[in-house]
Amino acid sequence: MPRKPDHPEPEGGWPLGWGSSLTEFQTYLAIERGLSTHTVSGYLSDLRLLAVWALEQAVSPSDLSREVVTKFIVSQQGEGKAARSIARLSSALRQFLGFLRMEGDGSAGPETVVRSPRPPRILPKTLTEAQVEALLSAPDVSTPLGVRDRAWLELLYASGLRVSELAQIPALSVFLDEGFLKVMGKGRKERLVPFGEGAEHWMRAWLRLRPGLRPRTEALFVGRLGEPITRQHLWRLIKDYASKAGIPRAAVSPHVMRHAFATHLLDHGADLRSVQAMLGHADISTTQIYTHVHQARLRALYDRMHPRSAP
């Protein structure tokens, strides 16, 4: 194994010997795979841990083997990393090793990474239908910004959009008469999502007021100065409206509304494939977690209501 350099210098911010491989991998994920900035950042953050550890061991990307990778994962477990963090790290390693093999820079492939035990399933938080109604009614609709907030809250619940999708959706991607919107989701995959009369009513009201804010963007939802509204702003607003509706702030987020959208659809008889399409999940196994929420709610209802449910 080569001797560790005495005074290693970083390459473009990466540990010595890893800069080229990680920069090319970053480009591959973003351009060829079309992954979101958040996902790419997560992979690179995990791989930086590998690169720093590997530099201490005098290991280059081409030296990666099952023994080396396993030793690295064990070192991370020894530092107290949670099972979920180890699973995410293992996923990043499999992606990186697959890329290296494809580029001819290493013989080790994704199968080199020993599969860690599946972390315990964490059911997504959701809201009751009554809580959602209270949240939707929280904005003061006597003001233009209150109408805007009622409109995006209604649309969020009616469509199950991700908050990043909601913040970026152009006004021209909403087809009110037809009752659907066109969304550019993860991996730049386009999908059509329907919405109901409630969302339509408030979006029409908002679109009548929107020109008065002199928009400086094509985005559907803008701020008081016509600027694009950010997902961070949407997060702050929904927390404030949760407090106003008497719901704990920690229980509400844009993503919780996405969970409520999926769970309530299943509660009312929607099929899993339809929910998958509306959420924009590439794999139906991602959507299936909502069936567990649905089953848990049914079980709780049964235990509470059936006369012979208690022992």
Q: Which residues are known to be catalytic?
A: 162, 186, 255, 258, 281, 290
Tokens 């959507």 -> residue: 287
Q: Which contiguous run of DSSP H or E holds residue 143? A: none
Q: Which residues on adjacent β-strands are paired with residue 14?
A: 11
Could you tell me how far CA 282 lies from the centroid of its own chain? Answer: 13
Query: Minimal CA–CA distance to 279: which of 127, 168, 170, 165?
Result: 165
Residues found in the chain: 311
* Ramachandran quadrant class, 191 (left: phi over 0; alpha: psi -120 to 50; beta: rest): beta
- What's at 251, amino acid-wise? A
Query: Minimal CA–CA distance to 166: which of 259, 88, 67, 234?
Result: 234
Could you tell me how far CA 248 lies from the centroid of its own chain? Answer: 22
- What's at 49, amino acid-wise? L
Measured distance CA(49)–CA(55) in Å, rounded: 10
Q: Which contiguous run of DSSP H or E holds residue 210? A: none
Query: Minimal CA–CA distance to 150: which of 134, 165, 131, 164?
Result: 134
